[in-house]
Amino acid sequence: MICMAAGAAFSSVLKARCRQLRGVISLIDDMSAQIRYRAVPLPELINELSGTGAHRDSVFVKRVCALMKQGKTVQDAWTEAAHTAPFFADSDRDVLADTGARLGDSDTAGQLSMLALAGDMLNRSLGAAEEECGKKAGALLRVWVLCGIGAGIVII
């Protein structure tokens, strides 16, 4: 039973990365739309988006907002959240940290281009994560179930 739970836990980590990436990609898309049509200041934009239904449960957005409330700039809060939010791969963290460091550095067109590039890169990461999840999630669960059965047989 314990082995089956371990397999389910390892499998859920792969699925959580996919969920987190989808959430951040959605956040970047929403930020792009708001910047394009409303030209909202970044702190206001992040706080506004964190209250919407799509991003209310995002661990990444919650960390960015919490760090901003501690007095950090949007750029510093985003970068730190990129390094500490759970379930991201190192490549995901690098893209997010680079994006955070560049927030607010240029005009509207520059920001939109930078966010579009980040969205594309994260979409590629999401594709790789979903492929990995599809290949490994079921296999991990089966291996750990078989380990549990084997341990049970050895014990008996």
Burial category of 72 from C-beta neighbours within 10 Å (exposed 0-12, middle 13-18, buried 19 and up) = middle
What pLDDT sits at residue 74? 93
> pLDDT exceeding 90 applies to what percent of the chain?
53
Report domain extents, the chain: 2-155
Written as one letter, the residue type at 89 is: A
Of the candidates 3, 23, 5, 139, the one whose C-alpha atom is nearest the C-alpha of residue 87 is 23
More confident residue, 134 or 98: 98
State both tokens at 42: 């970044």
Q: What is the pTM of this model?
A: 0.79
Strands (E), 5-126: none
Say which residue the tokens 């661990």 belong to: 59
Whether residue 139 has pLDDT greater than 70: no
What pLDDT sits at residue 9? 47
Q: What is the per-residue pLDDT across 31-73, written as a single tens digit (0 to 9) for each?
A: 999 999 987 889 999 999 988 888 888 899 999 999 999 999 9
More confident residue, 133 or 23: 23
Place 129 in a pLDDT band, splitting at 50, 70 and 90.
Answer: confident
Q: What is the per-residue pLDDT across 90-107, written as a single tens digit (0 to 9) for each?
A: 999 999 999 999 998 889
Taking the C-alpha atoms of residue 67 and residue 70, their distance in angstroms, rounded to an integer, is 5
Give me the helices (H) in the chain, please: 2-38, 42-50, 59-69, 74-84, 90-102, 108-155
What pLDDT sits at residue 17? 87
CA dihedral over 106, 109, 112, 117, signed as positive or negative: negative
Largest Cα separation within the chain, whole Å, is 69
108-127 mean pLDDT: 94
75-79 mean pLDDT: 95
Whether residue 120 has pLDDT greater than 70: yes
